[in-house]
Amino acid sequence: MSTLASVVTVFAFVSIAIHVYIWILETFLWTKPRGRNTFGTTEEFAEASKEMAANQGLYNLMLAWIAATGLLAFWVGGLPQVGIALMFAGLGSMAVAGIYLFATSPDKRKPALIQCVPPILSLVLLFTMVS
């Protein structure tokens, strides 16, 4: 595979790792000091919203799963077109969610950029690769 495919893979893997970490924060650490500090919530709010946060965390895990399945299909599954389609779906969803957070929550711009820049870079390079 090309160097471009390798760079796409690096950015995709970073995107996947970020979303798995968000899943851990929202699912397992939401009510713990680490989770509350990360999201700026109180103990009361965290306790009252833990089911919602776990559900949101599951969405983040599924986005990571889609992108990871795409990487596997591309590199080892012998299905590069399927892999590319899955990467576009997973990474595109990650990017849109991060852009939405950036646009709607000015106080969360830094986490929004962390969430959306790696998948956007991966998508731009992926589009370049397939064009």
Mean pLDDT for the stretch of residues 111-118: 97
Among residues 93, 114, 90, 95, which one has the least CA distance to residue 25?
Answer: 114
- For the chain, the residue count is 131
What value does the mean pLDDT of the chain take? 97
* Band of residue 2 on the pLDDT scale cut at 50, 70, 90: confident
Angle at 46 between CA 20 and CA 101, to 5 degrees: 55
| Residue 55 DSSP code | H
Domain membership of residue 65 as a residue range: 3-130
Q: What value does the mean pLDDT take over residues 36-51? A: 97
Number of domains making up the chain: 1
Q: How many CA atoms lie within 13 A of 13 on its CB side?
A: 8
Closest residue by Cα to residue 126 from 65, 76, 85, 93: 85
Residue range 52-103, pLDDT digits in tens: 999 999 999 999 999 999 999 999 989 999 999 999 999 999 999 999 999 9
Q: In this predicted model, which residue has the larger pLDDT, 1 or 94? A: 94
3-state DSSP call for residue 77? coil
The whole-angstrom separation of Cα 30 and Cα 48 is 11
In the numeric block, the tokens 């820049």 are attached to 117
